[in-house]
Amino acid sequence: MAFHSRLLCIKPIGSGLYELTRSNGAIIRVFICECYSFGVAEYHEVVTKIGKIDAIIINSNWCGYSNDCKEHCRARKIGFFNIRDFMAALNIEKFWEYTDQ
């Protein structure tokens, strides 16, 4: 991620949370998770613990998330991705709207 052309800076905050500064100056608060399965309940738990986030990345090929959770997040302008899709989503302004289809 550090060499992505749309990122200027990556700042680790702790507990899986990072602040990414985009090339346009916007800051994205990203939660990176390695949990087996991530759903709406897990989303609410994370937000309660760490506050506002702009994106969630599932950082393992063995883990996944529910489509309900992805739609729940998208409706709140929060991106929900695997790492490959997040890297592609960074290329668009409204990254939370990115879809691989």
**pLDDT by residue (tens digit) across 20-46?**
999 999 999 999 987 777 888 889 999
Backbone angles phi and psi of 45, in degrees to 5: -65, -45
Domains in the chain: boundaries: 7-95
- What are the φ and ψ backbone dihedral angles of 74, each rounded to 5 degrees? -55, -40
Q: What is the pLDDT of residues 42-93, one digit of tens each?
A: 899 999 999 999 999 988 766 777 788 889 999 999 999 988 899 899 999 9
State the Cα–Cα distance between residues 17 and 70, nearest whole angstrom. Answer: 18
User: Would you say residue 2 has pLDDT above 90?
Assistant: no
State if pTM tops 0.95.
Answer: no
With beta carbons less than 8 A apart as the criterion, state whether 13 and 19 touch: yes
Q: Beta-carbon neighbour count of residue 82 at 10 Å? A: 16
User: What does the pLDDT read at residue 101?
Assistant: 62
